[in-house]
Amino acid sequence: MSKKMDQLIIRLLKVELIKLTKAANKAKMIADEVAAIGTESIEIHKELLSIIEAKESGNEVVARLDKLLARYKKLKRLHKMDFIKLIDNQSDAEFLRDEVAMEISNREWRTANL
């Protein structure tokens, strides 16, 4: 294979590596959020308790409750996700990303040593 062809393939693989890295990072972020459901649930309940104990009212309290409701809805959505499947997706995405990175490294070394 010619040096120019290898350089073209390397450029294309680097573009793909960027996409794969973003996908792997997103998969990890979602898996981490699902793994932290318990902690987030406790934090929501603590904040709700502090609002109740403060016995305050007004727009500020309503805004805080709206934020808590949004966090709770997100928590419910995350709770429905299959954690094992998320971990598998993360692992697959990271494996593919690492394989492409290795291929880029091999091709760059080969191109430099032609």
Write the DSSP assignment of 39-69 as a string of letters.
HHHHHHHHHHHHHHHHT--SHHHHHHHHHHH
pLDDT of residue 94: 96
pLDDT, average across residues 52-70: 89
pLDDT in tens, 10-52: 999 999 999 999 999 999 999 999 999 999 999 999 999 998 8
Which tokens is 87 given?
A: 């971990």
% of the chain at pLDDT higher than 70: 98
pLDDT band at 113 (very low <50, low <70, confident <90, very high): confident
Kindly report the pTM of this predicted structure.
0.74
Structure tokens at 105: 């490294």
